[in-house]
Every structure is written in C-alpha cells, then in structure tokens.
Amino acid sequence: MDFTFSDDQLLFQDNVRAFFTNEVTPELIRELWNSESGRSDKLWAQLTELGLPALTVPEAFGGLGMDELDFVLLAQECGYAGLPEPLVDTVLVGVPLLSALGGEHDELKNRWLGRIAEGQARLAVGEPGNPLVADAHVADLLLLPHGDEVHALLPQAVRLTRNASLDPSRQLFRVDWTPSAATCVAAGEQGRLLWAASRNRGSLGTAAQLLGLAKRMVDLAVDYSFERKQFGKPVGSFQAVKHLMADVAVQIEFAKGPLYRAAYAVARGLTGQDAQVSHARLVCAEAALLAAKNAIQTHGAMGYTWEVDLQLFMKRAWALDKAWGDRPWHKTRIRQALYGGAIQPGAGNTF
C-alpha cells in the first residue's frame, strides 16, 4: 500500500508555503493585531487567486471538488504561517456543512457556494456547546447550532459581542440570535449527523494547524539558538538544548501518521473516524504544547518578550488547543471507542 501524498498534492503544498513565506509575515500578523477587524481583504483576495477557498466547493458550484486529504497539508501550512484568516474553518468545516444540506436547500447552496469559491463571501460556523464563534464579524453567512438543528443566518439577524482571546489573531464573538423555522436548514437526525461531521472536520483542521505551529516553533528556536552565544559558542551547540528540540521533533514525526490517517478516514467516510480524529487531535496538540514549552526554554527570558516572533505562534497554539473540543473531550471519545469494542487493541490492529 502507498501511504505517500501525490506529486500534485506536494507541489500544491510547496506553492502555498512559498506564498505564505512571502505574504503572511510576522510583521503582517502584528499589523492585523492592531487593525479594527484583525482581517485583511487584500490577503483574502490573494488566497482566492490561489484557489484556496474553492478547494472543497463541489465542481457543480464552481469549485475544485477536493476533499480533506487534499487539504490537510495546506492546513499544516496555515498553522506554520500563523495565518489569521479563517481559511481552515471555511474550507474544512463551513463549505462541507453547507454542501451536505438536503436538496430542499439547493437555492441556499446555489446562492452561497459559488460566491465562496470566488472569494465574494465568507462563512462563520458555530461549534456546538461553544458560545463563541470565530470570525463572526466578517461573515456574510453564519451557520449556527441550536441543539441538533443547523441554522443559516445573515449578519443583520445576529448581535455580536467581542470576546478577547489569548491569541489576538483569534477574533471571537458571542452571537445572540433567535432561532426560527425560517432559519432552520437541518434538524433531528440529519442535524445531529451534520454537526458530528463538522466536529470531526473542525478537529482535523485544528490538529493540522497545531502540527504546523509545532514545526514553526522548533524552527524559530533552532534559528535563535544558533544566533545567541554563551561562552563564545552558539547555545544550540550545547547538548541540553539539542535534546529539547529533538524531543519535539520526535513528537512531530509521530503525530504525522495519525493526522494523515484521520484525514483519509474523514475524506472516505470510514467507520471509526471519531476515535482516529481525536487521536490525531491529541498527538498534534501534545507536539505543539511541548514545542511551545521547549522553545521558550531555548529562548530564555527573551521568549516572553513582545518583540520576539515566538510569542505569535505560541499564543496561537495555546488558543487552538481549546478549539473544536478540548483534550479531555477527545480522550473521552478514544476511551469510549476502546472500551466499547470499536478499537481492537494490539500491535496487529492499532496504528
């Protein structure tokens, strides 16, 4: 069996990485922190030129018709760059949720999916059980939960209250609105299944970003350790510092397998994907949090200062660790799958 990504997928990742390197700089992130919306219409237009918002939009609506496995490498690059724009939630959560609505809502899909692919509209998606919605202030359409129901609302139908985040790049809002039959687009078992799928996609996207963030923090720490000198030598030459980065590098490599397996399971609609997504989410979070801890140690006191770029990515990792289910929630899903018989333990069965 071939578990490698295709040449086209890897080439697309390289092109996106090159774009982010040139355009999504730490200087831009800091600039957006000080702007009113925290978002850049120019940057979203550039992302649209690359075809990124159209990736998971079905071809019938003017998109590229790709799936989660095609996007997981790009989601990693979004994490590595610390991309402020809500690209991952749009591509992995919002568009698939909207696309999966029943045929009675074809008019809604016709109205919005093509505009999203063209970069003329943005989505915001609420996470069930979480009162805060990311990027609700720039959304042209909001998809919000009410129990098992899915509601589609225009901005004028909601009232937003900003909620400060540890990561200034995270634009979070409490959304007050009134559910009605006119806004409900899915209910009952259909709504429950749609939100379950959205949780998995949101968790998958968060895991991929956390893995990218872990790699970025390691790279920043390595670069700094070779610039800073003690006793006439770069601190990176000392064994204790090498071990800190090696520990994170091992975590990153071990997290890749579960992440890509989870992306494959979600893209193919395989049974058992809940536990696989939670596994990926946990190991990627562990890698990112260890990267933050060890990178701070490598930087010393400088790592806590506003001027050093490390804090941009460290804060993003801490904030994303609570998005789309925290670690106890994901551990519970794995425990239930293991003790419920959905996972058969043993070297011949587990990954």
pLDDT at residue 340, rounded to an integer: 86
Q: State residue 236's pLDDT score.
A: 45
Q: Higher confidence at residue 113 or residue 338? A: 113
- Give the model's pLDDT for residue 350: 59
Give the amino acid at 7: D
Residues 307/224, Cβ–Cβ less than 8 Å: no
Domain assignment present for residue 151? The answer is: no
5: DSSP letter: P
Residue 227, pLDDT above cutoff 90 = no
User: Residue 245: its pLDDT value, please?
Assistant: 78
Strands 141-146 and 149-153: antiparallel
**pLDDT level of residue 241 (50, 70, 90 thresholds):** low
pLDDT range class, residue 226, cuts 50, 70, 90: low
pLDDT at 35 over 80: yes
Contact 73, 13 (CB under 8 A): yes
First to last CA, the chain: 14
Contact 56, 100 (CB under 8 A): no
Residue 255 has pLDDT above 80, yes or no: yes
Which is more confidently placed, 225 or 139? 139
pLDDT at residue 138 in the model: 94
Longest dimension (CA), the chain: 72
- The string of pLDDT tens digits covering residues 320-351 is 999 999 999 999 999 998 888 777 777 776 55
- Minimum mean pLDDT range among 45-54, 87-96, 224-233, 275-284: 224-233
92 occurs within a structural domain: no
Q: What is this structure's pTM? A: 0.92
pLDDT tens, residue by residue, 50-71 = 999 999 999 999 999 999 999 9
Lowest mean pLDDT among 19-23, 65-69, 237-241, 299-303: 237-241
Return the SS3 of 204: helix
Contact 214, 252 (CB under 8 A): yes
Range from 5-9, 110-114, 206-210 that averages highest in pLDDT: 206-210
Domain span at 197: 190-339
The reported pLDDT for the residue numbered 90 is 94
Name residues whose C-beta falls within 8 Å of residue 78's C-beta, 6 or more positions apart in sequence. 20, 87, 88, 208, 209, 212
In a domain, 28, yes or no: no
Cβ pair 161, 176 in contact under 8 A: yes
Q: Is 42 domain-assigned? A: no
pLDDT at 171 over 90: yes
Task: Indicate whether 205 belongs to any domain.
Answer: yes
Question: Does 291 fall in a domain?
Answer: yes
Please count the structural domains in the chain.
1
How far from 184 is each of 72, 123, 143, 226, 297, CA to CA, in Å?
30, 16, 10, 56, 50
pLDDT of residue 234 exceeding 50 = no
Compute the mean pLDDT over every residue in the chain, rounded to the nearest whole number: 90
Is 11 part of a structural domain of the chain? no
Determine the pLDDT at residue 307.
Answer: 81
Task: Tell me the residue type at 90.
Answer: T
CATH of the domain at 241: 1.20.140.10
For residue 238, pLDDT over 50 is answered with no
In a domain, 153, yes or no: no
